[in-house]
């Protein structure tokens, strides 16, 4: 029982801790404030609470799949997590809208593939990813609009 919750803590640490650490080191600054924004750009304050909830769900989904020992699904989980962690420094750190969009679309593809893969194996993990897939789709659209408006 203890190792079960220890492994959950590890997955939450990877997702939530990694997301918070990367986010804290790559904050929107003057560059982002100076960009032309599309009409559907949400206020900046919404991103931190949304991502925090999503990272908790992502961590739980990874843990559920790890308990099932589904190696292909776990590979997709780590792939999307890696792309997620790379996007922020590319977008906010390097200010590269085009490459960030490519990363976001890869992240979306990996998240969708993960959701489809686990749908019949561990449906709770798939449901944890549904809001994440929706948010990454929105974030990809936003990234693309920012790139188009500021190219």
65-116 pLDDT, tens digit per residue, is 999 999 999 999 999 999 999 999 999 999 999 999 999 999 999 999 999 9
A 10 A CB-CB count for 135 gives 17
Mark out the alpha helices in 2-122 (DSSP H runs).
Answer: 2-12, 18-25, 30-33, 47-68, 71-88, 97-118
What is the pTM assigned to this prediction? Answer: 0.93
Confidence of residue 5 (pLDDT cuts 50, 70, 90): confident
Residue carrying the six token digits 């986010």: 23
How confident is the model at residue 95, as a pLDDT? 95
Domain count, the chain: 1
CATH code for the domain in which residue 99 is found: 1.20.1260.100
Residue range(s) defining the domain that contains residue 108: 1-150
Are residues 128 and 115 in contact, defined by beta-carbon separation less than 8 angstroms? no
What does the buried/exposed string (b/e) look like for 6-42 if buried means 16 or more CB atoms within 10 Å of the residue's CB? eebeebbebbbebbeebbeebeeeeeeeeeeeeeeee
What is the model's pLDDT at position 147? 98
């Amino acid at each position: 029982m203890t190792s079960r919750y220890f492994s959950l803590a590890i997955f939450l640490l990877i997702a939530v801790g990694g997301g918070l650490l990367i986010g804290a080191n790559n904050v929107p600054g003057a560059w982002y404030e100076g960009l032309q924004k599309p009409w559907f750009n949400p206020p900046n304050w919404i991103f931190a609470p949304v991502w925090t909830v999503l990272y908790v769900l992502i961590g739980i989904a990874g843990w559920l799949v790890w308990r099932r020992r589904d190696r292909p699904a776990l590979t997709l989980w780590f792939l999307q997590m890696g792309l997620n962690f790379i996007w922020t420094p590319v977008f906010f750190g390097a200010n590269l809208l085009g490459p960030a969009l490519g990363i976001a679309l890869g992240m979306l593809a990996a998240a969708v593939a993960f959701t489809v893969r686990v749908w019949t194996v561990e449906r709770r993990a798939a449901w944890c990813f549904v809001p994440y897939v929706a948010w990454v789709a929105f974030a990809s659209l936003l990234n693309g609009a920012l790139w188009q408006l500021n190219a």
